[in-house]
Every structure is written in C-alpha cells, then in structure tokens.
C-alpha cells in the first residue's frame, strides 16, 4: 500500500512539475507595455486602449503550417493552451499607466441598436481613436511570444500586426512580423 501511495505521489509530482509555468501577470504586462511604447509609431498618441476585439475570429493563429515554421511542438502546445482562454483576457489598470482602458465589450456596445460605432465613440471620447492589444501567447520557455496589436482611428483608418517577439538582453525585440493590416 505504501508503495502504491509513493508511486501515485511520484507520478503526480512528475505531471505537475513537467508542465511549463504559466506566464505571470507581470510577464504579460511587460510585453503589453513594450507594445504600447514600441509597437507602432502612431501608438504613442493614443490615450485609450482595449483588448483585441477580433482575436477569436482570426483563424490564422492556428495555421499549423505557419506555427510550425516558427515554433517547435512544445511551444505550439503552450501557445494553444493559452489561446484556449484568450477571449477571457481583460486588461487591468494595475500594470498600464497613463492610458485609459475601455474594455472591448463596452466599445462593441457603441454599435448596438443600429448605431454607427464611430459616431458613438466620438461622442464619448472625441476623435482620437484607440489602441488594441491581444493577450500575449508565450512559448514554453517564455523567451518568445506572439501578440496582436494595432489601432483604430475611424471607419477606414487603422493599422495592426501580429508579431513574434523575442527576449534578448532582458528586453523584447520584434523577431518577425507574421501578418498585418492597414486601412
């Protein structure tokens, strides 16, 4: 009986400790703040940020061919596990300074009941537009990350990218721009 308990304990310990550690809030917001400061030349002018409103509708996150081009199987597994909860990601003001957070649900409500989004947005916030950022998805070793970000500034005004960032000398650098849009 003692051997069985010991084997169960050993197996459980192995399973728990073999899982890569989940990214901490500090690690997540280090990436987000890097994007706010360095992601786009225009991003420094915005005073509002929201979560990426389109991330769950984007099938290219899991284009296996694209992921395998940049990541090993362990990293792909880690990215997919984090993506499973991406729609639950909400920004928190604890880690973002000097920029107002308006959560995507609130922003999306501006176009309810047949209202034009930008008319409602400008009534409430002026003509400045807003940044958006997705949840950073880390590799198993947390040395690389995929993140969506960009800005919207009107009906046909905006830009965004999906990038791979790489940890180098205690800072993040853009390793690869995977995709983007501009209007």
For residue 178, what pLDDT is reported? 86
Is 162 within a domain? yes
Is 8 within a domain? no
Per-residue model confidence as pLDDT tens for the chain (183 residues) = 666 655 555 555 454 445 657 899 999 999 999 999 887 665 557 889 999 887 766 666 667 788 888 999 999 999 999 998 888 999 999 998 889 999 999 998 998 888 899 999 999 998 889 999 999 999 999 999 999 999 999 888 999 999 999 999 989 999 999 887 888
Angle (CA) 16 139 56, round 5°: 100
Number of domains in the chain: 1
For residue 155, what pLDDT is reported? 84
Print the domain residue range for 54.
Answer: 23-182
* Separation of alpha carbons 112 and 32, rounded Å: 29
Non-local (6+) Cβ contacts of 154 within 8 A are 118, 127, 129
Is 77 within a domain? yes
Is 156 within a domain? yes
For residue 136, what pLDDT is reported? 96
Is 92 within a domain? yes
Is 14 within a domain? no
Is 3 within a domain? no
For residue 9, what pLDDT is reported? 55
Is 2 within a domain? no
């Amino acid at each position: 009986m003692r051997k069985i308990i010991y084997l169960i304990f050993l197996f459980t310990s192995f399973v728990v400790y073999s899982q890569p550690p989940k990214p901490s809030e500090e690690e997540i917001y280090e990436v987000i703040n890097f994007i706010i400061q360095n992601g786009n030349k225009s991003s420094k002018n915005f005073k509002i940020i929201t979560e990426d409103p389109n991330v769950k509708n984007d099938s290219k996150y899991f284009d296996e061919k694209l992921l395998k081009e940049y990541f090993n199987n362990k990293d792909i597994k880690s990215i997919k596990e984090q993506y499973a909860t991406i729609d639950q990601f909400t920004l928190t003001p604890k880690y973002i300074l000097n920029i107002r957070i308006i959560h995507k649900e609130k922003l999306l409500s501006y176009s309810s009941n047949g209202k034009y989004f930008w008319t409602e947005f400008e009534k409430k916030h002026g003509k400045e537009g807003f940044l958006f950022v997705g949840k950073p998805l880390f590799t198993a070793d947390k040395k690389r990350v995929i993140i969506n970000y960009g800005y919207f500034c009107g009906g046909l005004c905006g830009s965004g990218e999906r990038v791979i960032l790489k940890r180098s000398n205690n800072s993040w650098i853009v390793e690869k721009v995977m995709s983007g849009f501009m209007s």
